Amino acid sequence: MMIAVDIGNSTFKFGFIKDGEFTDKKVITKLSYSDLAFLKKIDHEAIYIASVVPKRTIELTDILVNDFQIIPKLITTNSKFSFSIEYKNINSLGVDRMCGIEGALFYLNNLGVENNFSIVTIDVGTAVTINYLNDENKFSGGIISPGPYTMVKSLRSGTAQLPFVKLDNYVSILGHDTHSSIASGVINSVVGLIERVDKYFQGRKIKNIKYFLTGGNALAIKEHLSLDFTHIPHLNFLGIYSVYLNEKQLNGD
C-alpha cells in the first residue's frame, strides 16, 4: 500500500493506492495523534506528500516523524515528473497543479492511449486551476481563479446584505431570488471560464485535447459543462503515486 497525501487550503486528504489502483481516502481538517491513528493500522511502503500550504506540511511532518516514526517524502518541483516544465518561475508553481497533470498522464498511459495529445486539467477547489500540457509533453502554464465557495465567501464578507449560499441553490441561468442568483453567478463564472479556455484552444486549432475535471467542488460544476471531459475525483492522488513510481524506478527499487 502507498499513501498519497494532498494538503490543500482546507483539508488534509489521504489517498490509499495499491498496485496502481485507488482504493479509498480519508479526509481530516485538523491534526492530532488521534486523527492520524488510522496510519498505525495500514501496512504501507511509502508516504508521499504534495502540499500547497508550507505551514501545514511542517505540522504534519513533525507529527509523522515524532509520534509515528514515519519519514514521508515531500514532492517538490524537483521531483521526478513524467513531463518537462516551461514556467517562468518554477518555484512559484504549485505542486498540486503538477500532480494533476501527472495523474492524467498516468490514467491515460494505463489505458494505453497514444501519447500524441494535449492535456488540460481543471481542479475546482478553494481556487480553480486550469493547467495545460502540450502535445510535446511540456507544461506551459494555465489559469488560477477563485473557487466557487471563495467567491461566495467574498460576496458575503464584502457586502452589507448578500447571504452565504450553497451551490445547490442553483436553479437556472437566471436566478429567481437572491440565493439562486448568487449560485448562478458563481457556477456560471467557473463554467464560463472553462469554456472560454476551450474556445481559446479551438481558435488556435489545437486538437486532440483530453480534459480532466477534479477537485472538491467539481460535482457542482460538471453537469453544466458542454465540453467532453473525464471526471476523476482522485486525480492528484494518481499523480502523487506516479511520482512515487518514477522515483522508485530511478533509484532501482
- Give the residue from 49, 74, 99 where a domain finishes: 74
pLDDT value at residue 210 = 95
Residue 57 contacts residue 7 (beta carbons within 8 Å): yes
Whether residues 234 and 120 share a domain: the answer is yes
Percent helix, strand, coil in the chain, to 5, is 40, 25, 35
Total tally of structural domains belonging to the chain = 2
- The three grid cell numbers given for residue 189, joined into one nine-digit string: 463564472
Distance of CA 166 to the CA centre of its chain: 21
- The three grid cell numbers given for residue 20, joined into one nine-digit string: 496502481
Q: pLDDT tens, position by position, for the chain (253 residues)?
A: 999 999 988 899 999 999 889 999 999 998 888 999 999 889 899 999 999 999 999 999 999 999 999 999 999 999 999 999 998 888 889 999 999 999 999 999 988 887 788 999 999 999 999 999 999 999 989 999 999 999 999 999 999 999 999 999 999 999 999 999 999 999 999 999 999 999 999 998 888 899 999 999 999 999 999 999 999 999 999 999 999 999 988 777 6
Q: Would you say residue 31 lies in a domain?
A: yes
Q: For residues 166 and 183, what is the distance between their CA atoms, to the nearest angstrom? A: 7
Whether residues 22 and 49 share a domain: the answer is yes
- For the entire predicted model, the pTM comes to 0.94
- CATH code: domain of residue 200: 3.30.420.40
Whether residues 94 and 192 share a domain: the answer is yes
Q: Would you say residue 68 lies in a domain?
A: yes
Q: Would you say residue 213 lies in a domain?
A: yes
- Domain residues for 93? 84-240
Whether residues 56 and 126 share a domain: the answer is no
Q: Please report how the helices 95-111 and 235-250 are oriented relative to each other, as an axis angle in degrees rounded to 10.
A: 80
Q: Please report how the helices 178-203 and 148-158 are oriented relative to each other, as an axis angle in degrees rounded to 10.
A: 130
pLDDT value at residue 152 = 97
- The three grid cell numbers given for residue 66, joined into one nine-digit string: 515524532
Whether residues 162 and 67 share a domain: the answer is no
